Amino acid sequence: MARYLGPKVKLSRRVGVPIADIPKHTAKRQLTPPGVHGYRGKRLKDYGIRKDEKQKLRYHYSVMEKQFRRYVDESARRKGNTGEVLLQLLEQRLDNVVRRAGFTRTIWASRQMVVHGHVLVNGKKVDRPSYAVKPGDVISLRERIHKVARENMESMAGHIVPSWMDVNPSELSAKVLALPSPDQIPFDVNTNLIVEFYR
């Protein structure tokens, strides 16, 4: 199946939580199930509950199913809590780091910025949104996209930058200080249910 290109608010309504931190998604009326009257069917079974948790995370990071499954397998191989490692791997994605730094408003905009070659990692162009940043990496933007990035930062005046990265607004650059921990991730999801879904 190809990448979903339809209305993104529909995804928020489908899983019942805002998958993007913008007014269009966080409006109260948008969290009703899709359809004219909303879905008033049976209660979800265990499978449906676990699937919805998985979909929340997939939609939030804009990752396709096959790629998401690879992240789950990789997190199971690594030491530590599988759910926490999974969140850490997803947070390390370059498109997510651009979004967390506040250079763009949504994950889809940051993905486009990366794919179009506007993002530099340690001075070198990286056009893969799934590129995993490491502590010490410096993410900067090309000159031609500075105006757009500054407009985005002004429109998100109250944006809070996570403590695992340091952003320099004047130079439009961000440095990754450490790997993110689960309590530093501003998205509420039950990772245990996700791991159970794939096991």
Flag whether pLDDT at 62 surpasses 80.
yes
**Do the strands 173-176 and 124-125 form a parallel or antiparallel pair, or are they unpaired?**
unpaired
Task: Write the pLDDT tens digit of every residue in 64-88.
Answer: 999 999 999 999 999 988 888 999 9
Instruction: Report pTM.
Output: 0.85
CB 136 within 8 A of CB 122: no
The structural domains of the chain, ordered by start, are 8-90+188-198 (1.10.1050.10), 94-178 (3.10.290.10)
Task: Write the pLDDT tens digit of every residue in 157-193.
Answer: 777 888 889 988 888 899 999 888 877 777 778 888 8
